[in-house]
Amino acid sequence: MNNTLQKNTFRQQIEHSAEIRANIKRYYIYVVLALIVMAFSLMKLDQVTFFGRGHFLSPDSIINLLRSAVPILILSGAFTLLMISGYIDLSVGSAMSLTAVVFSWLILNGSPFLVAISITLVLGLIMGALNGLLVMRLRITPVIATLVTLNLFKGIALLIVPDGTSAIKSTPTQTMPGWINDFARKDVLLGLPWAFWVAILIIVLLTIVQRKTILGKYAAAIGGNRLAAELSGINAVKTIWLLYIIVGFFAAMAGVARASYMSLGDPLSGDGMEFNCLIAVLLGGTAFAGGEGSVTKTVVGALIIICVTIGLMTVIPPYWENLAKGTVLIFAVVLNHLLVQEKIKA
Amino acid sequence: MEIKQPQKLIIGNKLSDESFITLFMIGVLIILFGLACLVVPNFYLPKNILNLITNNWFIIILGIGVTFVLITGNYDMSVGANIALTGVLSVYFCQGANVSQNTLANGLGLPYGVAVVLALLCAMGVGAVNAFFIAKLKVPSIIVTLGTSMLARGTAQVITQGAQRNTSLPDAFGVLGNWNLPGTPFRLPLLIMIVLITAAFIFERKTIFARRIYLIGANPEAARLSGINVAKYLTMLYIFSGLLAGITGILLASEYQAGVSSRAMGYEFDALVVTLLGGVSVAGGFGSVLGMFVGAIILSVVTSAATGMLLSPDWQFTLKGIVTFLAILAQRYALDKRKG
């Protein structure tokens, strides 16, 4: 009788600790975000009051933060879906730059907003399809294939911008219409612009896709074991190709948002976006090889990155940025390893 | 009952796949060179041909490390940042201490030799960090090396406050990068490159270490089961790659007599491109440093022909992307054809 009692408590202990671990895994990212927000809120308290002007949590600062976060919010959901399936796209940054350049060029040359955005989004679909072609049809490793398209898109973006200027922007002969800013800056609701609410809508949509739709399930299946998925009747080529097209589409939308925010098309504006997305995805607990992941947690990861980048801008000189980002990446990698990879080992 | 025809034996085909691909790429090089000579006046001058090799000496040195790492199926994207960091450190360590008010002119005041050794140790340290995450924690190498690249470049940027350090240097600083073999235009970096690539080629062909690297790339599980300590080999390769980047960093810093935080941007992509051009398979287990060397010359021909045709430098990105893409497809096609 004594033995049974001991066995029960031992099993309870194991279950209890497994439960704790599962809870940590589910909620750690919110804790990290809360800690970072708290850390930045406690800075410069000798100069500003809580929620007052200049403080991290002041309305102006929060609006600025969320407005700058729009491109990564738009992009990280689709990027997560792709990473869940085990594939990566390193060209999203250059795709974003290229679409920003194309969009501003169209607006500068007189296209109305809807026409310009439609053409740009179609361009995004094409870029995604190209990536899909290279990876799935020509069976080039995703890393190399998307590095190739990274250079290709960057090159085309640089070539579109006329020599002597750094970006597509107002010239002595043509002026960029003022309304280009409206999408990404003009206050529509709660002080936030259209672009932000569109991003929220996209995030909700992609969360539903990831959790409830067949596409999301197929992506996870392919990520878990591509061969098993194919033997179960999943057309991996079509599914992954579709995911690349979706990533391209949202990269284009992110490019539109960035161009609208800055009122110009900078062919280098998207550089490093793929790292930001990667860090967000890693922080959010998606495994490298795929098979599991969550759009909402990636979005929280994206918010963490934005807080860190914007927050640090006010506190430290700009040349610390790479070191800070690299540290965050390594931190995300270690965190991801501890929480996610452990499961695979077992 | 059908009698199966006996398989056609591949007898007498003594040329290994690697040599085949290297010869194939040499053929591609000759064709491209011919095209360049048609399009660009004076392309065939001996001085120009020499330039094709000497312009890229740093990419070739980096390429040695990247080739071996890629043969195991991993990437090393931190070499460019490593160059910048090593260069900056080599300056910082031997700048005079307490020389001026400007913090960028003050260093640690160590002798040049000590500074060089310490900087190389830091370069190898970067490689060790890479190896820790890749070999021990099994994190995908592309992510790790991109991360260490940011860390290394970030450190270089912090030490130089985003710019460069180039003052209060000892006289010995500019010697290594600018030393000429008397009577010839061959500078020390070029000679070092030649020595390294010859050594690498001999190493690749003759040593057991290299053979094991090929096995690790071809089938990591089989390598592990054969008793090869894969983690140890990967660690040594990444530290070696870091060391090569460090040597290049020291030479470049010495040549320009400055530690610039923005040096070597994009060199890791160039090194990867020339390695791929040289026939190293991304899947691992296949490739040769000689192929990488040929790939470097191909890249030289393409970029200098583009400059000669007066194309804007922005074309470089697009060209590199297209050339890599065509090379991968051509190599795969050639190998498939060969296997029948």
Domain definitions of chain B by residue range:
18-28+49-327
Are the beta carbons of A158 and B314 separated by less than 8 Å? yes
Query: Best of B318, B323, B332 to disrupt the A interface by mutation (most A CBs within 10 Å)?
Result: B318
Rounded mean pLDDT, A239-267 = 91
A262 token code pair: 């800055």
Of A298, A259, A249, which is closest to residue A95 (Cα–Cα)?
A249
Query: Best of B270, B282, B314, B332 to disrupt the A interface by mutation (most A CBs within 10 Å)?
Result: B314
**Which ranges of A110-180 does DSSP label H, i.e. alpha helix?**
113-132, 142-160
For the stretch B72-116, pLDDT in tens is 999 999 999 999 999 999 888 888 777 777 777 777 778 888 889
Query: Residue B180 phi/psi, 5° resolution?
Result: -105, 140
CATH number for the domain spanning A327: value is: 1.10.3470
Of the partner residues B154, B272, B320, the one whose CB lies closest to the CB of residue A323: B154
For the stretch B20-73, pLDDT in tens is 888 888 888 888 888 888 887 777 788 888 888 888 899 999 999 999 999 999
> Which pLDDT score, from 0 to 100, does residue B175 have?
78
C-alpha distance across the termini of chain A, in Å: 32
Q: What is the average pLDDT value for chain B, to the nearest integer? A: 85
d(CA B200, CA B305) in angstroms, rounded, equals 29
Assigned domain for A188 exists: yes
**pLDDT cut 90: percent of chain B above it:** 36
pLDDT tier, A46 (very low <50, low <70, confident <90, very high otherwise): low
d(CA A24, CA A265) in angstroms, rounded, equals 42
Answer yes or no: are the C-beta atoms of A298 and A284 closer than 8 Å.
yes
Query: Is the pLDDT score of A341 beyond 70?
Result: no
**DSSP state, B257?**
T
**pTM of this structure:** 0.86
Of the partner residues A140, A156, A330, the one whose CB lies closest to the CB of residue B318: A156
Number of domains in chain A: 1
Distance from CA of A153 to the nearest CA of B (A): 7
**Which ranges of chain B does DSSP label H, i.e. alpha helix?**
17-39, 46-54, 57-71, 79-94, 112-131, 141-159, 175-178, 188-206, 208-218, 220-225, 230-256, 267-277, 289-308, 315-339
Coil/strand/helix, residue B193: helix
**pLDDT cut 70: percent of chain A above it:** 92
Rounded mean pLDDT, B123-131 = 94
Rounded mean pLDDT, A245-265 = 91
Assigned domain for A103 exists: yes
pLDDT tier, B1 (very low <50, low <70, confident <90, very high otherwise): low
Answer yes or no: are the C-beta atoms of B249 and B133 closer than 8 Å.
no
> Which pLDDT score, from 0 to 100, does residue B98 have?
73
> Which pLDDT score, from 0 to 100, does residue A48 have?
65
Residues 320-339 in A contacting B (C-alpha not used; CB under 8 Å): 320-327, 329-330, 333-334, 337
> Which pLDDT score, from 0 to 100, does residue B296 have?
92
> Which pLDDT score, from 0 to 100, does residue B11 have?
57
Are the beta carbons of B161 and A319 separated by less than 8 Å? yes
Q: What residue has token string 């922080």? A: A283
Q: Is the ipTM of this complex over 0.85?
A: no
B332 token code pair: 């795969």
Q: How far are the Cα atoms of B36, B210, B330 from residue A93, in angstroms, in the given order?
A: 33, 37, 28
d(CA B69, CA B65) in angstroms, rounded, equals 6
Q: What residue has token string 């939308």? A: A253
pLDDT tier, B334 (very low <50, low <70, confident <90, very high otherwise): confident
Q: Which amino acid is at B255?
A: E
For the stretch A175-196, pLDDT in tens is 777 777 777 777 777 778 888 8
Assigned domain for A93 exists: yes
Assigned domain for A16 exists: no
Of residues A237 and B185, more confidence is placed in: A237
d(CA A79, CA A206) in angstroms, rounded, equals 10
Q: Which of A299-313, B34-48, B195-209 has the highest mean pLDDT?
A: B195-209
For the stretch A77-113, pLDDT in tens is 999 999 999 999 999 999 999 999 999 888 888 788 8
**DSSP state, A346?**
-
pLDDT tier, A8 (very low <50, low <70, confident <90, very high otherwise): low
> Which pLDDT score, from 0 to 100, does residue B46 have?
81
Q: How many CA atoms lie within 13 A of A344 on its CB side?
A: 18
Q: What angle do CA A315, A321, A322 make, to 5 degrees?
A: 160
Assigned domain for A17 exists: no
- Domain spanning B18-28+49-327 has what CATH number? 1.10.3470
Query: Is the pLDDT score of B212 beyond 70?
Result: yes
Give residue A105's domain range: 28-341
- Please provide the DSSP assignment of A217-232 as one string: HHHHHHHH-HHHHHHT
